[in-house]
A = this chain, B = another copy of it.
């Protein structure tokens, strides 16, 4: 590991050639004889030369860098997405700036600005703010999970309406009839789409959503536990199944049921959303809606890169939709 930063000029001096030749050789451009190119490559290597991407970015106006703003890396849902983004980016020789907003629109906005200063080529964002904030951003931007037919931004999402439909239909197929819903207030948007899907499933059964059994909770285990308490104790409903808008909430509901000696899945059925790795632990076995998180991450980056590379062409809004899948495990009952 050589510590001092060797520049293109150092290499040029060493060899007695002009430094533009070094640049040409290093970038595989023509205008250098094969002989000198080899010579240059060899001594650059020997001297431990590493090109300065700051300087490169300055002249090329491409930093080979993207920003990723997510609310919480400890939620495995985002962990897997970020892994997908990272792998896809790495293949294209891109690096990612990771920004953790903690579900705060203020932090999110601040990160957005610093990323602009860093001159990232594009941004991938899971927003905690209002959609309209990002409608008119003209630099490459991908929004995670904020599908909108009308608003003009790019977006890759796993179909939330369909996921909600699958979840509710499964509960109904299992003969649960009094469904409760715990949304995540951090992303009321996705929660609402899933609720719409659930309404469609209920309609097929000639039923509709009981608004008094819809709770706005928080996307965490503790949030799920508290929402379950509210749902079962203060709403005066006799709920026999809970549709949790993410797995963490589902885990909280299970915790509540365990504390209260409510038997799952017999008395109460529980379904989650996301299919994070912990939901398939043998002690948990949470029935859930699988989202292809890793693939989503890769798709986000690849789509972003497409847009980055199509700078000149007229911008066209990209909307990619992936499919969710029902994973039946042990927190919903099996019909005989």
On A, residues with C-beta under 8 Å from B are: 1, 3, 5, 50-55, 57-58, 63, 65, 68, 73-74, 76, 79-80, 82-83, 86-87, 90, 93, 95-100, 113-119, 134, 136-139, 221, 251, 254-255, 258-259, 277-278, 281-284
Contacts and interface: CB of A to CB of B under 8 A. Distances in A.
A119 B54 contact: yes
Nearest to A80: B74
A208 to B, nearest CB: 34
Contacts of A119: 5, 52-54
A154 to B, nearest CB: 14
Most interface-central of A5, A138, A282 (chain B CB within 10 A): A282
B83 A95 contact: no
A228 to B, nearest CB: 13
A97 B96 contact: yes
Given A50-B117, A53-B119, A254-B282, 9 more contacts: A1-B137, A52-B117, A68-B98, A73-B86, A74-B76, A95-B97, A95-B115, A255-B281, A283-B283
Given A251-B281, A254-B283, A282-B259, A86 B74 contact: no
A123 to B, nearest CB: 11
Contacts of A58: 52, 54-55, 58
Contacts of A254: 282-283
Contact of A282 (B57, B255, B282): B255
A98 B98 contact: yes
A95 to B, nearest CB: 5
Smallest CB-CB A-B distances: 4 pairs: A3-B138, A98-B98, A283-B283, A74-B79
B79 A73 contact: yes
A328 to B, nearest CB: 19
A3 B5 CA distance: 33
Contact of A82 (B98, B114, B221): B98
Given A83-B74, A119-B54, A283-B284, A96 B95 contact: no
